[in-house]
Amino acid sequence: MSESKRDRFIRIAESRTNRTLECIRLLGNCSKKANYNYNDEDVKKIFGIIEKELKSVKNMFLGLETKGEKFTLR
């Protein structure tokens, strides 16, 4: 039996959302000052690009055009 578009969406969206959440949690490990050296500007850049990309992806679901970009702290 063939999987419906809705069932496929649910399966893939759940999997990708859970992977995304895990990666965000892993990013949180970088906050440990005992292991890493970073400044407020680095934090602003990281969360700025994450927030920008979240808005971009949300706009895709709303049918609006978007374009992604690469992230670097350098």
Residues 46 and 68 in one domain: yes
Residues 31 and 45 in one domain: no
- The predicted-structure confidence for 39-48, as pLDDT tens digits, reads as follows 999 999 999 9
Q: pTM value? A: 0.81
Residues 30 and 51 in one domain: no
Residues 48 and 71 in one domain: yes
- The predicted-structure confidence for 14-39, as pLDDT tens digits, reads as follows 999 999 999 999 999 999 999 999 99
Residue 67: count other Cβ atoms within 10 Å of its Cβ: 5
Give CB contacts under 8 A, 24+ apart, made by 40-49: 42/73, 45/71, 45/73, 46/71, 46/73
Domain residues for 68? 38-74
| Cβ 30 vs Cβ 38: under 8 Å | yes
